[in-house]
């Protein structure tokens, strides 16, 4: 290391001498430069190549990971901030990867302790909140260095806003936008070292592409997740006493480097939270982007455009189309959602660490410390709006499959802050859900849309999913269980009443504007004093998220109640369908014929239901599905006060009583002029495998398509032979079938097709047209073209050879046996016709 530092000092001296020799050629003779230090100060735009940076880049290729980290630790400890400033952007990029996702860096999202224990331990020690990397950040932070961050890599809404000369509402971007010089390309943000480091850390969750074999990696075991997470055994009351978590340390441990601790005590926590929210949650649609422009924002936008119009020397180009394209392409991953859920859990625990006397609005005074103020306002000020938009995007764009469970649990974690409170409620003896304390009524009311509108969004998804799947049934159960917690439904209903309260009832509220608080560069000055008017706070919440002209659909109104009743009906159907699938597959599995083992069975649609989770998990899956759906239905009845009579009436009205254990129940449809027409409910039943039509061929049996269990060439040859026989002997066959004696009955049994009027035809129109096309007697030899028939004949001859019976004798026995069978069937057929008459 000593040799390395000597080389750096020697290079520094020689490079400054070269700069001194270049100066007279570039500047007038009046510019007097006396030495290397004066040269460096006179020409700050001349960036000297860093020998330290070049050496570290070379080591990153030639040295192993452990040795590189050891060298970095020594460099951070020994070199001054002036030297470290040059390597900082490269080091951050080498750790978290490039912003375009090409370079993966240390690959923290897929680095696991059980797979690479040495590398994992070294990386975690280096990136620990109290480790060497954060020491480097604070070392540079003390010198007030700035680093350029390209605006083009920010989330789509932020990038579109800045490119339109519209200042985003977050104080994170205030006084940081750097416009390019004449002829320059792109906009940049001038960030301090802490902001620059956190921007890369947060964006690496989104920009880095998944590895080919990353599907089997648990997110909670990865280094990235561990850096954000905290120790599970850590009690909430001691929040901030341990430094094992990046999020936990900076959200609680406050030691300011600024001179005024009263006003800048929370600068790291505020910055960390803003970065995470902006990078992870600031993704919403074009409609939301246009609707969120409040009057305060529009005034700020006008002032901002006037102040920067001369700096760019070009007119403002609208980028709403770019935002729309971004919104269509943005799809959060399950890992992204899991990390956001972790952030929400930490924020709830952080906010709940307030003492009871600090939570009440009366405690809001000038004597409150900035940290206490930040605990109270962190969620509503920074998180609420963007999380609501992020959840709306996920609810509307996430695939209708079991992966939605990650989004669901993130949503439910936010709805239940009492789960992360320091006090623990006593568990009831009968294992009933704990009662939600009235302490949480303000949170429920001020997050009304999180409970009501997103619940309606979940209902619309649940009505389109296959509830027979145990994974989907579990999601319905989870939501119903959360909303069925005692006293929660009453709090939500009270919040709706406060919002729907007529404004004319209280005259002093008539001239208020329900808008978001104006934004400025300071967090403490931007947050308004606490408002004790509960109704006004609820209205402000709704209008700030949905706009002044929003149309609110009450959760306990008739529209949502109709959706709940429909979901209850589908739950009942799904329970019966799961049981019928289990019974049908259980019957068909042991009863398969021997020839089916050879692949000669028919592959028609009259077998078992389409495959789903039940086929993979068996009877245990049916039991789980039944339990989840049964409890979900019970919880929904509790929340919306549904009676047993209502459910029974709904079940009968929608035809959930099935014939033959549900196997013959047709999809919901109506009879039209051209036959049966599916209703929307019928389409849903077919798509999700709840019901089906029995498909059978209803045309000429001789002309039906060749099946997989038939020999194509033999079937065609037999058809030509039978057609020739029928054409030559048509008259004789008709005369024989018209006889009234036993010979006539015997010929009719073999030469006439079964009565078409006895078939189950779906359309009454098709039934009439099919009956009118009755065909005369004819011979059909198609059965001889079947693999099963030929194999059966071969088996019969083989068995006969074992008893020393020759082929001719065997054939005669088969013909004699069939004649006896045909005589018996003819007599039975004639007797059944007599009974029908």
DSSP state of 240: T
509-528 tens-digit pLDDT: 333 343 433 333 444 444 45
Q: What domain range is 810 assigned to?
A: 712-755+776-834
pLDDT value for 594: 37
In this structure, are residues 173 and 189 in contact, taking their beta carbons and an 8 Å threshold? Answer: yes
DSSP string, 636-658: HHHHHT--HHHHHHHHHHTT-PP
Same domain for 637 and 739? no
798-824 tens-digit pLDDT: 999 999 999 899 999 999 998 999 889
Q: Cα dihedral sign for 95, 100, 103, 107?
A: positive
pLDDT value for 634: 93
Region 354-359 average pLDDT: 62
Does any domain span residue 1? no
Same domain for 807 and 719? yes
pLDDT value for 707: 87
Q: Which helix (H) or strand (E) holds 51?
A: helix 51-62
Rounded Cα distance, 83 and 4, in Å: 14
Q: Report whether pLDDT(506) > 70.
A: no
Same domain for 650 and 720? no
More confident residue, 150 or 32: 150
Q: Which of 368, 499, 422 is nearest to 237 (CA)?
A: 422
Same domain for 647 and 725? no
714 falls in which pLDDT band (50, 70, 90)? very high
Instruction: Count CA atoms within 13 Å of residue 633 on its CB side.
Output: 23
More confident residue, 758 or 833: 833
Region 166-188 average pLDDT: 79
Does any domain span residue 569? yes
Those residues with Cβ within 8 angstroms of residue 466's Cβ, 6 or more apart along the chain or in another chain = 472, 574, 612, 688, 689, 690
DSSP state of 786: B
Question: What are 786's strand-pairing partners?
Answer: 710
214 falls in which pLDDT band (50, 70, 90)? low
Region 233-246 average pLDDT: 40
645 falls in which pLDDT band (50, 70, 90)? confident
In this structure, are residues 85 and 48 in contact, taking their beta carbons and an 8 Å threshold? Answer: no
Q: Where are the beta strands (DSSP E) in 669-762?
A: 669-672, 675-678
Does any domain span residue 495? yes
Q: Which helix (H) or strand (E) holds 449?
A: helix 448-462
Region 92-110 average pLDDT: 90
pLDDT value for 343: 94
18-48 tens-digit pLDDT: 333 333 333 333 333 333 333 333 333 334 4
Does any domain span residue 748? yes
pLDDT value for 829: 84
More confident residue, 18 or 53: 53
Q: Report whether pLDDT(310) > 70.
A: no
Please classify residue 140 by burial: count the beta carbons closer than 10 Å to its beta carbon, then call 0-12 exposed, 13-18 middle and 19+ buried: buried
pLDDT value for 657: 45
DSSP state of 784: G
More confident residue, 335 or 305: 335
Does any domain span residue 54? no
Query: Of the segments 479-488, 532-541, 787-796, which one has the largest average pLDDT value?
Result: 479-488
pLDDT value for 262: 42
More confident residue, 194 or 261: 194
The mean-pLDDT minimum among 496-505, 592-601, 645-654 falls in: 592-601
Please classify residue 616 by burial: count the beta carbons closer than 10 Å to its beta carbon, then call 0-12 exposed, 13-18 middle and 19+ buried: exposed
Region 69-73 average pLDDT: 94
Does any domain span residue 408? no
Region 383-401 average pLDDT: 91
H helical segments located in 738-806: 742-751, 764-771, 787-802
Six-digit token string for 267: 């600068």
Query: Of the segments 476-490, 519-533, 795-809, which one has the largest average pLDDT value?
Result: 476-490
Rounded Cα distance, 292 and 624, in Å: 44
Those residues with Cβ within 8 angstroms of residue 538's Cβ, 6 or more apart along the chain or in another chain = 445, 446, 448, 495, 498, 499
pLDDT value for 555: 94
Same domain for 623 and 739? no
Does any domain span residue 595? no
Rounded Cα distance, 179 and 635, in Å: 57
Question: What are 672's strand-pairing partners?
Answer: 675
Model pTM above 0.85:
no
49 falls in which pLDDT band (50, 70, 90)? low
Same domain for 650 and 780? no
Does any domain span residue 58? no
Would you give the distance in Å from CA 654 to the centre of its chain? 32
Rounded Cα distance, 247 and 347, in Å: 10
Q: Number of structural domains, the chain?
A: 2
For 367-383, b/e burial (b = at least 16 CB within 10 A) is eeebbbbbbbbbbbbbb
Q: Report whether pLDDT(478) > 90.
A: yes
Question: In the predicted model, what is the mean pLDDT of the chain?
Answer: 74
Q: Which of 86, 102, 59 is nearest to 145 (CA)?
A: 86
Rounded Cα distance, 774 and 757, in Å: 10
Region 571-590 average pLDDT: 69
H helical segments located in 240-361: 246-252, 261-264, 267-281, 286-291, 295-312, 320-329, 334-351, 356-359
Same domain for 441 and 555? yes
Those residues with Cβ within 8 angstroms of residue 93's Cβ, 6 or more apart along the chain or in another chain = 99, 103, 105, 200
Rounded Cα distance, 159 and 225, in Å: 27
Q: Report whether pLDDT(577) > 70.
A: yes
Q: Report whether pLDDT(88) > 60.
A: yes
Count of C-beta atoms within a 10 Å radius of residue 704: 11
Region 739-758 average pLDDT: 77
Same domain for 447 and 580? yes
Entry field: residues in the chain: 837
Region 581-610 average pLDDT: 45
Q: Which helix (H) or strand (E) holds 393?
A: helix 384-397
Rounded Cα distance, 837 and 821, in Å: 25
608 falls in which pLDDT band (50, 70, 90)? very low
What are the Cα distances from residue 15, in Å, to 51, 56, 75? 10, 19, 20
Q: Report whether pLDDT(432) > 70.
A: no
For 20-35, b/e burial (b = at least 16 CB within 10 A) is beebeeeeeeeeebee
Q: Report whether pLDDT(636) > 90.
A: yes
Same domain for 750 and 624? no
**Which 3 state secondary structure label does DSSP give 591?**
coil
Q: Report whether pLDDT(312) > 60.
A: no
Same domain for 647 and 790? no
pLDDT value for 833: 76
Calculate ∠ Cα 472-568-415, nearest 5°: 60
Radius of gyration of the chain (CA): 38
Region 773-800 average pLDDT: 87
Same domain for 642 and 746? no
pLDDT value for 75: 94
More confident residue, 520 or 716: 716
Rounded Cα distance, 227 and 306, in Å: 43
Same domain for 632 and 487? yes
Count of C-beta atoms within a 10 Å radius of residue 296: 15
Six-digit token string for 528: 């308004």
Q: Which helix (H) or strand (E) holds 614?
A: helix 613-617
Q: Cα dihedral sign for 186, 187, 190, 195?
A: negative
């Amino acid at each position: 290391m000593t040799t390395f530092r000597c080389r750096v000092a020697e290079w520094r001296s020689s490079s400054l001498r070269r700069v001194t020799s270049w100066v007279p050629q570039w500047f007038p003779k009046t510019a007097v430069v006396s030495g290397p230090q004066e040269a460096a100060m006179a020409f700050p735009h001349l960036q000297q190549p860093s020998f330290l940076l070049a050496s570290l880049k070379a080591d990153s290729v030639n040295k192993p990971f452990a040795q590189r980290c050891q060298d970095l630790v020594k460099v951070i400890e020994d070199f001054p901030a002036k030297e470290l400033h040059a390597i900082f952007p490269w080091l951050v990029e080498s750790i978290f990867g490039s912003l375009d996702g090409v370079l993966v860096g240390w690959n923290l999202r897929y680095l696991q302790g059980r797979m690479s224990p040495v590398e994992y331990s070294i990386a975690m020690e280096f990136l620990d909140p109290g480790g060497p990397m954060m020491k480097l950040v604070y070392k540079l932070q003390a010198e007030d260095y700035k680093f350029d961050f390209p605006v083009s890599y920010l989330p789509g809404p932020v990038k579109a806003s800045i490119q339109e000369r519209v200042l985003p509402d977050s104080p994170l971007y205030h006084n940081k936008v750097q416009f390019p010089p004449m002829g320059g390309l792109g906009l940049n943000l001038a960030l301090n070292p802490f902001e620059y480091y956190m921007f890369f850390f947060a964006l690496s969750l989104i920009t880095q592409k998944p590895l080919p074999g990353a599907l089997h990696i648990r997110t909670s075991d990865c280094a990235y997740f561990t850096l954000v997470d905290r120790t599970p055994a850590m009690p909430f009351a001691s929040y901030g006493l341990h430094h094992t978590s990046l999020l936990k340390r900076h959200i609680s441990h406050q030691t300011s480097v600024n001179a005024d601790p009263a006003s800048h005590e929370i600068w790291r926590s505020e910055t960390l939270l803003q970065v995470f929210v902006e990078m992870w949650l600031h993704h919403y649609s074009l409609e939301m982007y246009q609707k969120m422009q409040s009057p305060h924002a529009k005034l700020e936008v006008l002032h901002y455009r006037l102040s920067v119009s001369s700096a760019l020397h070009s007119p403002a180009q609208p980028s709403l189309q770019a935002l729309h394209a971004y919104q269509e392409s943005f799809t959060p991953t399950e890992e992204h959602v899991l990390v956001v859920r972790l952030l929400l859990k930490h924020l709830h625990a952080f906010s709940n660490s307030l003492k009871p006397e600090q939570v009440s609005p009366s405690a809001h005074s000038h004597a409150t410390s900035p940290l206490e103020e930040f605990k109270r306002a962190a969620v509503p000020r920074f998180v609420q709006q963007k999380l609501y938009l992020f959840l709306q995007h996920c609810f509307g764009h996430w695939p209708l499959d079991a992966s939605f469970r990650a989004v669901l649990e993130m949503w439910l974690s936010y709805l239940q802050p009492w789960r992360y409170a320091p006090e623990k409620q006593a568990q009831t003896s009968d294992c009933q859900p704990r009662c939600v304390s009235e302490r949480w009524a303000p949170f429920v009311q001020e997050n009304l849309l999180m409970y009501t509108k997103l619940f309606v969004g979940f209902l619309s998804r649940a009505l389109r999913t296959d509830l027979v799947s145990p994974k989907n049934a579990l999601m319905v159960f989870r939501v119903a269980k959360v909303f069925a917690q005692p006293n929660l439904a009453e709090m939500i209903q009270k919040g709706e009443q406060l919002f729907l309260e007529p404004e004319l009832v209280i005259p002093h509220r008539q001239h208020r504007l329900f808008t978001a608080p104006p934004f400025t560069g300071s967090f403490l000055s931007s947050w308004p004093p606490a408002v004790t008017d509960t109704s006004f706070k609820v209205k402000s919440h709704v209008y700030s998220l949905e706009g002044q002209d929003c149309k609110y659909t009450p959760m306990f109104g008739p529209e949502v109640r109709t959706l709940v009743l429909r979901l209850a009906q589908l739950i009942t159907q799904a329970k019966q369908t799961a049981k019928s699938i289990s019974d049908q597959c259980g019957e068909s599995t042991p009863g398969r014929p021997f020839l089916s083992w050879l692949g000669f069975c028919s592959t028609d649609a009259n077998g078992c239901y389409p495959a789903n989770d039940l086929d993979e998990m068996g009877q245990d899956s049916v039991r789980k599905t039944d339990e989840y759906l049964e409890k979900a239905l019970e919880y929904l009845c509790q929340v919306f006060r549904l009676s047993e009579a209502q459910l029974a009436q709904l079940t009968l009205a929608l035809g959930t009583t099935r014939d033959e254990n549900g196997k013959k129940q047709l999809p919901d449809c109506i009879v039209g002029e051209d036959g049966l027409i599916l209703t929307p409910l019928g389409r849903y039943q077919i798509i999700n495998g709840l019901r089906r039509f029995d498909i059978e061929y209803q045309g000429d049996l001789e002309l039906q398509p060749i099946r997989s269990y038939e020999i194509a060439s033999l079937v065609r040859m037999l058809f030509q032979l039978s057609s020739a026989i029928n054409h030559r002997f048509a008259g004789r066959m008709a005369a024989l079938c018209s006889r009234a004696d036993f010979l006539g009955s015997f010929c009719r049994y073999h030469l006439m097709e079964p009565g078409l009027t006895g078939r189950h035809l779906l359309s009454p129109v098709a039934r009439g047209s099919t009956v009118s096309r009755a065909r005369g007697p004819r011979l059909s030899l198609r059965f001889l073209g079947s693999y099963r028939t030929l194999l059966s004949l071969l088996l019969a001859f083989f068995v006969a050879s074992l008893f020393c019976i020759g082929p001719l004798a065997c054939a005669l026995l088969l013909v004699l046996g069939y004649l006896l069978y045909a005589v018996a069937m003819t007599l039975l057929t004639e007797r059944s016709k007599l009974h029908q008459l």
